[in-house]
Amino acid sequence: MISSRFSSHIVFTSLAALTVALTACGGKDKAAAVVNDTPAMTVTVAVPATRPLPRTITASGSVAPWQEISLGVELSSVRVARVLVDVGQQVKKGQPLIEMDARTLQVDLNSARARLAEADAALVLARANGERGRRLKEQQLISAGNADELIAGEARAEAQRQSALAQLESARLRLGFASLRAPDDGVISARSVDPGQIVSPNNELLKMIREGRLEWRGELSGSDLARVKAGADVRLRDPAGTLVLAKVRSVAPSLDPRSRTGLIYADIKDSGELRAGMFVEGEVVLGDAPALIIARQSVVVRDGISYVFAVNERQGHKARVKQQRVETGASLGKEVALRSGLDAEQAIVVQGAGFLTDGDLVAIAKEGV
């Protein structure tokens, strides 16, 4: 009898404990449900804006002269008297750049003038003899041979005068070469001559950038090169960070067989602090295209990857967010353009995005458009 009562007591006690345990578990589930229904934080959301943005290609290239002229003199074994310019100096067309020692050339010019004077005197005498020969021949007072000799002497004298005149012009031209002048407006880019130096026609004395114009030679892949047309704008930055504008003048018709890249040639309008030989990065503007624009604070970068938190399962002022990978494009101050990863009508978290994780429940405080 005692054993039966003891067994009943054990069963009752076990059932009571099980009831308490089940009651406790049910309480925890309800508490968990209450916790899961509590927003992680209050955020603001917005829908991306669609605006036209310029499409660009970023490329690297070198700054080079539009045309660089090598300057020298057409004289041999002549000494330099004075160098009138230096590197970096602006020059005008026709401006003297170098003066040579012209004393020998002046002597040659004076000699040529004297020879021309002798030829003129000889021509006067020859013409008189030729005229006399014609008259005597008509009067039959001289043999035909002698008359022809006098007439031919006039022709020889005329030819000698023409030769003397040519020598005079040559001497004048050589004397003109004694002063090297700028063939066009420009900037002196190099100098390899000093006073006292003896030069020859093969010597390069100066280099000049014609009109002072520089160009940017951007290197692009074959696919990008095909997208660029003459007249496209190019944005460069000089060493001071100042924007420098250029315009594509021409596009290379072929690619380098080794690098598989081609060049574009862009005229620089105002070079600023850019100098020939610099290697700079540029943006080639291809035209406008519609783009999705979002606030910069909407983008969360984790492990080098950009994400946004899209608003899903919205119920009133509450919603669950989904971490969504995106590809960002151009930076626009407090905004950024998106290349991919988001629909135009998809609302995303703006303020508070950096504190969220995938699947969080949030309260929406304000919604922008």
CATH code of the domain in which 345 resides: 2.40.420.20
- Domain membership flag for residue 13: no
3-state helix, strand, coil in the chain (%, to 5): 30, 40, 30
Q: Do 335 and 295 have their domain in common? A: yes
CA-to-CA distance for 38 and 34, rounded, in angstroms? 7
Which residue in this structure is represented by tokens 């010597």? Answer: 203
**216 and 281 both lie in a single domain:** yes
- In a domain, residue 28? The reply is no
Q: What residue type is assigned to position 154 of the chain?
A: E
Those residues with Cβ within 8 angstroms of residue 100's Cβ, 6 or more apart along the chain or in another chain: 73, 75, 78, 79, 80, 81, 177, 178, 179, 180, 199
For residues 329 and 95, the model is more confident at: 95
Work out the average pLDDT over 55-65.
92
pLDDT (tens digit per residue) in 287-297:
888 899 999 99
Per-residue pLDDT tens for 149-158?
888 888 888 9
Domain that residue 231 falls in? 58-66+212-288
Instruction: Give the CATH number of the domain where residue 97 resides.
Output: 2.40.50.100
- Looking at the DSSP bridge assignments, the partners of residue 281 are 60
Report if residue 20 sits inside a domain: no
Q: Is residue 2 part of a domain?
A: no
The answer to whether residue 8 sits within a structural domain is no
Per the domain annotation, does 24 fall within a domain? no
Are both 135 and 160 inside the same structural domain? Answer: yes
| Number of structural domains found in the chain | 4
Residue type for position 46: A
pLDDT-based confidence at 36, cuts 50/70/90? low
Residue with tokens 């002048």: 181
pLDDT digits (tens, 9 = 90+) for 252-285: 999 999 999 999 999 998 888 999 999 999 999 9
Does residue 153 or residue 103 have the better pLDDT?
A: 103
pTM (2 d.p.)? 0.60
